[in-house]
Structure 1
Amino acid sequence: MKKKLLLIGVTSVISIAIDQWTKFLATQHLLGRETLSWWNDFFVLTYSINHGAFLGLGKDLPEGVRDTIFSGLVSVFLIGFTVYALRDKTMNNLQNLACGLVLSGGFSNLYDRITNNGGVVDFMNMGIGGLRTGIFNVADMAIMAGVFLLLIYSYKSDVKK
């Protein structure tokens, strides 16, 4: 249990620190400035406050509904997922690392919502031509990496059976 708590905790603390630091830098260096672009717009930095979920989903919902979903329900999910991750004795180190990534991204974006009037600082965008990602942040990358690792491990476990 100590090893699991340490792995999830250290992963979360490092990931949250990196996310909050990059959001601070984005606010300091991108807010009110021109978009920065590299490699023919493959990688773009631009400041944005996202009041929705991933890729802006739900941003047009009434404020009270958005707050209930993106702060209230997300808080309940994160607390439940934390309890699950810490109590499940069958998870290996990779799964614990993945849970730490999901939790850190979720808690870091939740912190943003609480401190930024319901919005999350986003600043990265990637793509080729019209095929682009939405604007995202490091917390979003942590969540996606954690979910990806959990799905890959789940698939590998199913194949072994």
Structure 2
Amino acid sequence: MPKVTLRASGLATLWLAALIVVLDQVTKQWALETLSLGVPMPIVPYLNFTLAFNEGAAFSFLSDLGGAQRWLFLGLALVISVFLLVWLRKLPASWSCEILGLNLILGGAIGNVIDRALAGKVTDFIDFYIGTWHYATFNVADMAISIGVFCLILHEFWLKPKAETS
């Protein structure tokens, strides 16, 4: 079996995941220093920056477990991150929608892991709304994960070369 080096694998693209982590952490720090909990800062119509904390998963799922979810989600995110690194290692170092998606998901997962490990909760601040209806408040890591999943679906169902599907 040939030896896979960093440069010859998808791991060479990890700078993108690192960039997502930095962007996520910088924007969360800005939100913590600038915004007040629950007080909206209007940006444009339909968009506020509103500081919120999430102890659960997406849409505050399982946020009422009394702290146990911190370790559950931390462990799950770490396992997923290792899985994504192994997946990236098996891919060639050329850019694709698949590699883009994996890096976005990995960067987002690590960004939220940092929050969960240090504070036991994730900092959210991006608040989309229409009238009185508000979408769940989210952050840069959440956006990266969502776009990354979209990229993987796009790759799997529409962009994957025919040779890979047989």
Please give the TM-score of this superposition, normalised by the length of structure 2.
0.84
2:26 equivalent in structure 1: 21
Q: How does 1:6-155 map to 2 (within 5 A)?
A: 6-7=12-13, 9-32=14-37, 34-40=39-45, 42-64=46-68, 66-89=69-92, 93-116=96-119, 118-155=120-157
Superposed CA deviations along residues 97-135 of structure 1, whole A, max 9, x for unmatched, are 11100000001100110111x101100110212443201
Residue 74 of structure 1 aligns with an amino acid whose one-letter code is: A
Shift of 1:44: 1.1
Q: Which has the higher helix share?
A: 1
- In structure 2, stretches of 5+ residues that fail to align are 1-5
User: 3-state DSSP class of the match of 2:62?
Assistant: coil
> How large is the RMSD of aligned CA atoms in angstroms?
2.3
- Report SS of the residue matched to 1:58: coil
Shift of residue 49, structure 1, vs aligned partner: 1.4
Matched-pair contact (CA < 8 Å) for 2:17–2:107: yes
Paired with 2:22 and 2:160, the residues of 1 have a C-alpha distance of 34
Q: Distance in 2 between matches of 1:131 and 1:152?
A: 29
Q: For residues 6 and 88 of structure 1, what CA distance do their matches in structure 2 show?
A: 10
Residues 5-54 of structure 1: CA deviation (Å, up to 9, x unaligned): 222x11111111111110010011003583112444x0011111110111
- Secondary structure in 2 matching 1:2: coil
Q: Which moved more, 1:78-87 or 1:47-56?
A: 78-87
d(CA) in 1 for partners of 2:66 and 2:37? 27
Given residue 63 of structure 1, which amino acid in structure 2 is its aligned partner?
A: G
What SS class does the counterpart of residue 20 from structure 1 fall into? helix
SS of equivalent residue, structure 2 residue 23 = helix
Range with greater deviation from structure 2 (45-54 or 68-77): 68-77
Amino acid at match of 1:143: I
1:136 CA displacement: 0.2
Percent identity for Structure 1 against Structure 2: 28
SS at match of 2:138: coil
User: Which consecutive aligned stretches of 4+ in structure 1 deviate over 4 angstroms post-superposition?
Assistant: 89-92, 157-161
With normalisation by structure 1, the TM-score equals 0.86
Number of equivalences: 157
